[in-house]
């Protein structure tokens, strides 16, 4: 097999420096350097890693309307979220280019095109020359996430070429949504990236299910979070940690092959950069008997329409 038919991937199962944008970026950059020294060509980080998942919501009566505490924590979250247009991912892009490594990174996006004050859980793809090729805003935040994250759009439902592979990705429970998955399958996706805030209970079943459904590799990457990871200078620190469990996110990062068998079983309670090599020929072999958008589809009976227009409240005509 040619070198283009194999890809070494790195799963970055790390914790954020919670709600600290600058320090979390530094930790992400150290992980990229580590993956590069291991020969990885792609590195994947968990959902919302930069600057962190909003764990406080389930610990502080977040549904209390007009709560001063919720307002102040949210303001802290906004200040530490990422404005791509202002260049806040530039150092990560430069490092990806320097090391020739592609990156899938989960961020909390402070979107300039939506006024800068609402937040989106976004999955960013940076290619090996350091260019941001897509920003997928989570279509539907889950449960209490809706108190701090806004619904996204279809603009980021894109796949990206890396050697002989076509990569696409979704955030957390979006992976349970059959139509967004289908939108990626139809573009030729053969490596599906599924990012999570953490926990094996999220990854152990669906990773293998999507692999068997799509006959693709599925790379699930989760973050870690312990009660001791909450910085003491976080607003309302004492209230947040009062009822926090010792382990909030145990990881569960893993890889399933196109037949649904494990390439890398879920890894829990361990921080690190975990690598594996995948081969595109395994995808071709498994597509022989099932291809969900090819020979095993009936577009004359069922068909999907996808709107990939970036949604904006205002459009200005010069």
Compute CA 187 distance to the chain's CA centroid, rounded to the nearest angstrom: 19
138 annotated active-site: yes
> Which residues lie below 8 Å from residue 239, measured CB to CB, with a gap of 6+?
59, 60, 69
Please say whether the dihedral angle defined by the alpha carbons of residues 10, 16, 21 and 23, taken in this order, is positive or negative: negative
Beta bridge partners of 104: 44, 125
DSSP class of residue 19? T
- Provide the 3-class DSSP secondary structure of residue 242: helix
Q: Which two tokens stand for residue 197?
A: 């805030």
CA Rg value for the chain:
19
172 annotated active-site: yes
Q: Which two tokens stand for residue 193?
A: 């990236």
3-state secondary structure 30-67: HHHHHHHHCCCCEEEECCCCECCCCHHHHCCCCCCCCC
Selecting among 138, 145, 189, 286, the annotated active-site residue is 138
- Whether 234 contacts 242, CB under 8 Å: no
> Which residues lie below 8 Å from residue 34, measured CB to CB, with a gap of 6+?
273
CA nearest to 222, candidates 206, 210, 234, 237? 206
Selecting among 99, 121, 145, 172, the annotated active-site residue is 172
- Whether 173 contacts 196, CB under 8 Å: no
Phi then psi for residue 14, to 5 deg, are: -135, 165
Selecting among 21, 41, 47, 121, the annotated active-site residue is 47
DSSP-assigned states of every residue in 84-110: GGGTTTHHHHHHHHHHT-EEEEEEEEE
Catalytic residues: 47, 138, 172
């Amino acid at each position: 097999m040619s070198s283009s038919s194999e890809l070494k991937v790195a799963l970055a199962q790390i914790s954020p420096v919670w709600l600290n944008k600058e320090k979390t970026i530094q930790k992400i950059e150290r992980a990229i350097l580590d993956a590069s020294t291991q020969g990885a060509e792609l590195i994947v980080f968990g959902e919302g890693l930069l600057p962190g998942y909003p764990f406080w919501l389930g610990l502080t009566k977040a549904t209390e309307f007009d709560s001063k505490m919720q307002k102040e924590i949210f303001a802290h979250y906004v200040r530490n979220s990422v404005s791509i247009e202002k260049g806040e991912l530039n150092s990560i892009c430069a490092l990806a280019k320097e090391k020739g490594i592609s990156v899938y990174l989960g961020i909390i996006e402070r979107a300039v095109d939506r006024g800068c004050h609402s937040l989106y859980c976004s999955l960013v793809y940076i290619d090996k020359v350091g260019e941001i090729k897509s920003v997928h805003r989570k279509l539907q935040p889950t449960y209490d996430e809706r108190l701090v994250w806004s619904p996204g759009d279809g603009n980021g439902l894109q796949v990206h070429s890396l050697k002989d592979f076509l990569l696409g990705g979704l955030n957390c429970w979006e992976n349970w949504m059959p139509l967004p998955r289908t939108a990626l399958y139809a573009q030729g996706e053969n490596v599906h990236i599924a990012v999570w805030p953490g926990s094996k209970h999220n990854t152990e079943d669906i990773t293998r299910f999507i692999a068997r459904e799509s006959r693709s590799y599925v790379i699930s990457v989760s973050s870690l979070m312990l009660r001791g990871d909450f910085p003491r200078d976080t607003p309302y620190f004492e209230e947040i940690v009062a009822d926090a469990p010792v382990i909030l996110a145990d990881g569960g990062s893993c890889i399933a092959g196109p037949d649904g068998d494990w390439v890398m079983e879920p890894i829990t309670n361990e921080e690190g950069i975990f690598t594996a090599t995948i081969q595109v020929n395994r995808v071709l072999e498994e597509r022989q008997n099932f291809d969900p958008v090819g020979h095993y589809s009936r577009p004359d009976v069922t068909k999907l329409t996808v709107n990939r227009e970036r949604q904006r409240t205002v459009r200005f005509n010069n």
